[in-house]
Structure 1
Amino acid sequence: MAPETIAAIVQTESHGNELAIGVNGLARQPAPASSIVQAVQIARYYVGKGYSVDLGLGQINSRNMKALGLTWDNVFDPCTNLAAAAVVLSGNYRGVRAGLHPQRALRIALSMYNTGSQSRGFSNGYVGKVIGNAGVSDGIQPVAIRVSAFTGATYTGEGSSAAAQLAALVAENTSASAQPKAAPPPPPPSWDVFARADYERARLAGEGENR
């Protein structure tokens, strides 16, 4: 799934807060966590009370952790959380894309990401928010779609496959070639591995033009 799409989801779900916690069905949300340790403690407390909890940058639901191969040790890790978000969205997209225009399929996949339903994410405004956060006007410009070759299986009920996908995505996004080096102007936030990779490519291209 293209970095632009995941970035739009992150902005919509967590506003870039890698420790974001959303307790579903709780009228008064807990105070923001100030560390990973505290975030895990808060999330586990509410899960233990029977709530489902949305976690991290992509607001991965706690009830999907096992299927995605996630643990409390890594669910708040930015790269792992983003990879899990990509796995979920890609699985949704592949499940509905047959016979549909790619952009229509992507919007349905976004609805499913938020609600599990192919329609409720439209009626509650979520899909529109993601499209807006991607910097496009719905119906005019498309949100980018790029499903990686190794994300061939859906995550539901296939924990080992999902774990392999996560490992591949994390390795891809944390490899030496993907890590940017400090250079003016300041690079994007550390959690936004995709933007940082784009930043580095642009910097290297600029150096080439100046030679």
Structure 2
Amino acid sequence: MQINKKNFPAYGLTIDTAFDACTNIEVGADIFAQCYHRATKQSPEKTHQEHLDDAASCYYSGNFSRGYQGEGRQNLSYVEKFNRAEKLPASTISESYDSLPESESSTPKAPTQTPTWDVFGDFAY
């Protein structure tokens, strides 16, 4: 999973531990779950799918709006890309999920050139 380095302190991650498969999935899932819970509390009138979309935006950017903005050559948003994947049923996400405390957010700085991990060259802040 993609874990922004701003989340490292809250989870006690280093660059090495962030790439441990089990740790990476556990932390990434926790970040997504926290976003989902925040989405349901912020807008309880929305549907499960809308909460998942908001959580995807939050997971991607740390907020509920940036993930809806189109980017790249195809001008697709992260949420649009996320929706191409199969979803879990609503009963799979429990409100009693015991996630770790959220970290303080900070705005990442845009790289001066395309990062080597961006194989399509379409990532933008």
Q: Percent identity?
A: 33
Number of residue pairs matched?
Answer: 93
Gaps of 5+ in 2: 71-76, 105-125
Instruction: Find the partner of 1:80 among 23, 28, 40.
Output: 23
Letter matched to residue 80 of structure 2? G
Shift of the 105–149 alpha-carbon distance from structure 1 to 2, 3 Å rule, reads: closer
Instruction: Find the partner of 1:105 among 42, 47, 51.
Output: 51
Q: Does 1:127 align with 2:70?
A: no
1:119 to partner: Cα distance: 1.4
Task: Name the structure 1 match of 2:110.
Answer: none
Letter matched to residue 40 of structure 2? R
Task: Name the structure 1 match of 2:9.
Answer: 66
TM-score (norm 2): 0.64
Question: Structure 2 CA distance, aligned partners of 1:80 and 1:113?
Answer: 17
Gaps of 5+ in 1: 1-57, 136-142, 159-211
Between Structure 1 and Structure 2, which shows a larger proportion of helix residues? 1
Larger Rg: 1
Say if 1:108 and 1:119, in contact at 8 Å, map to a contact too: yes
1:64 to partner: Cα distance: 0.8
Say if 1:112 and 1:121, in contact at 8 Å, map to a contact too: yes
Give SS of 1:87's match.
Answer: helix
Question: Structure 2 CA distance, aligned partners of 1:70 and 1:150?
Answer: 24
Say if 2:32 and 2:55, in contact at 8 Å, map to a contact too: yes
Q: Does 1:155 align with 2:107?
A: no
Question: Structure 1 CA distance, aligned partners of 2:68 and 2:58?
Answer: 10
Task: Name the structure 1 match of 2:33.
Answer: 90
Say if 1:87 and 1:155, in contact at 8 Å, map to a contact too: no
Question: Structure 1 CA distance, aligned partners of 2:39 and 2:100?
Answer: 12
Shift of the 151–118 alpha-carbon distance from structure 1 to 2, 3 Å rule, reads: same
TM-score (norm 1): 0.40
1:157 to partner: Cα distance: 3.8
